[in-house]
Structures are given as structure tokens and as C-alpha cells.
Amino acid sequence: MPFMFPYQRPRRLRKNPTIRRMVRETSLSPDDFIYPLFIKYGKNVRKEIKSMPGCYHESVDMAVRHAKEVYSLGIPAIILFGIPEHKNETGSGAFDPQGVVQKAIRAIKNKIPELYVITDVCMCEYTSHGHCGIVKDGDVLNDPTLELLAKEAVSHAKAGADMVAPSDMMDNRVEAIRIALDGEGFPEVPVMSYAAKYASAFYGPFREAAESTPQFGDRRTYQMDPANRREALKEVALDIDEGADIVMVKPAMTYLDIISDVKESFDVPVAAYNVSGEYSCIKAAAKLGWIEEERAMMELLTSIKRAGADLILTYFAKDAAKLLNR
């Protein structure tokens, strides 16, 4: 008697690239990506960040050129991080109308008005101590910091930013920013909140890129404990109640469960940040010949989208877009 095979054979739908593409459940597009840029003072500055191959510190003029390239690949948005010429205890460069980010916003919107410009709103790049707010006796003070974050967000909006993205993890900062934006005549500027931002070991290369390493202690008193899952939903709910239009989970790769939980629990767009350490791990392993960079990159980005992210902030955006555009 011949062996009776089951009627269901999943391999039938894996036979060739065409059928695999036809039944694929999750698809990536350049529209999913937001590309980070690091802006410094000067002219004709374009210096590769050692721990993040393919990423650069750039002066405003070079960032405009880079932004044009990003837009030409079909990537709809960038997010700007600024490195000021001088830092101080209060991070006043963050809300200087002639600050490096404010200048970059104006220059980029002038040359590529269709490109959507998002700005990181935080104090760590601008403070001499490297923390995300006002420090007193070794503690980061929550409420006094809110006023500075609100001023920074308004200064970005005045320069022409399309969206602001607070990343500091101070309590109630979304509400403070929303009230400030509305009060200054910018009710149409959305807020993308870093709502569930964990105290992660994967931020190391970014701290070199943004020159924002804390000069003492760490950020565990305001960023989330990596062991906590339910707390992320609480943080997201609070930010939505305060007026966040988009909520973000950071990092992405090691927090796919959190992305999925947030997507299932809330009816707002969900962003995820494929952070510097995740990027650098793949770059380093590929350089050593241990993995195939393109396959690993696309597998990682697909996993983030599959988990529920509508938007992905990633340093891989350009490379991924080039593959997707083939």
C-alpha cells in the first residue's frame, strides 16, 4: 500500500521566488523608513563615525546634499540630531534659534521641501554632563527639564520642522510640548514620542555619534528597565493621553514583543528605532565574514515590520531602499 501523504503541503507555496513573493505576509517599502542624520557646525564637514560605518557627522551644507540622496531613494523622512559647538549645564544650545539643528531644518526644507523633517527633542547632546535634563546634586530633575524641552520643540517648529520627537523620557513631557506648540501657533505639528525607551546596552555607538555619553552615572532613573513589559503599555498610554500622535519603541531588535504589544493595544501609528548597536553588530559581523550583510539587514527590518511597526528609524534605510528599488 503506498504511503498516504497529507493534502496540506506548505512547501508548494515556497517552490520559487514568484509564488513566495505572491503569498508573502509582510512587505517592506522605502516608505517605512526614517533616516537619521547627525549635524555639526562647520562647512564641508563629512566625517565617518568610527563605530557606525556608513554614517557621518555632517555640516549643514553636506547634510543638505545627503538629504537629497535620501529623498531620491524614495525615503520620505529624516530625523535630525545636533552636536553643538559648545555645551553647558542647561543645554541652552538646544533651543538657540541659530543652533545647528535649527539651521539644518531651514536649509533642508528650503532645498527639499517635500522631504519630511523630524527632529529629536532632548538635552543630552547639548548638556556638558550628557544627561537628558537639568541636574542637581547628581539627580536629573523632571519638572524643570520640561520647560527646556518645550522651548526646544518650539524652536524646531519655528525653524520649519514637520514633526518633533521627544526622546528624553521625562514624565509629562509630551503634554508640556503639546501645550507649548499649540500656544505658539503650531497645533498642526505632530509629536512622535519615544514612549517606551529602554535603558539599553545597544546605544553605545550612538553616544559616540551624538557625543552624548553621560559624564557620571547612567540613565536608568529615567529610561525603562529592560525586564519590564507591562510598564511599556503604561508609558504608551500616558503619552497618548498627553497628545502623542505616534508612539515609538526603542530599541527594536531586542524588544519585538513590546512592539507587538503596543500595536495590539493602541490604535495609533507605531514607530520602532533600529538603534546604533543593532546596526553596528551586523556591520561588524559582516566585515568579519560571519554573516551576509544584506540578508541579515533585510531579515532584521522585516522582523520589526512583522512585529507591528508602521515606521522604522534605521541607519540601514538607504541600503535597504536601494535593494527594494531594484
pLDDT (tens digit per residue) in 165-178 = 999 989 999 999 99
- The C-alpha cell at 192 is 512622535
What pLDDT sits at residue 299? Answer: 98
Active site amino acids: 197, 250
The pLDDT, as a whole number, for residue 127 is 86
Residue predicted with more confidence, 301 or 326: 301
Amino acid at 169: M
For domain 26-324, the question of CATH label 3.20.20.70 is answered with yes
Q: What is the mean pLDDT of residues 231-240?
A: 98
- pLDDT per position as a tens digit, 175-222: 999 999 999 999 999 999 999 999 999 998 877 766 666 665 567 788
Give the pLDDT confidence of 4-19 residue by residue, as tens digits.
666 788 999 999 999 9
Q: What is the residue extent of each domain of the chain?
A: 26-324
Please give the residue that has the higher pLDDT: either 281 or 133.
Answer: 281
Residue found under cell 504511503: 3
Reported as half-sphere exposure (CB side, CA atoms, 13 A), residue 250 has a value of 24
**Of the ranges 84-98, 150-164, 189-203, 292-306, which one carries the lowest mean pLDDT score?**
84-98
In the chain the beta strands, taken as DSSP E runs, fall at: 33-40, 46-48, 56-59, 77-83, 116-121, 134-136, 139-141, 163-166, 192-197, 246-250, 270-274, 311-314
Q: What whole-number percentage of the chain has pLDDT above 70?
A: 94
Instruction: Please name which of 181, 127, 129 lies closest in space to residue 158, comparing C-alpha atoms.
Output: 181
Q: Which residues lie closer than 8 Å to 133 by C-beta, 6 or more apart?
A: 123, 127, 140, 141, 142, 144, 145, 148, 149, 168, 170, 222
Residue type, 283: K
State the pLDDT at residue 290: 98
The per-residue pLDDT for 216 is 55
CA-nearest of 185, 177, 187 to 153 is 177
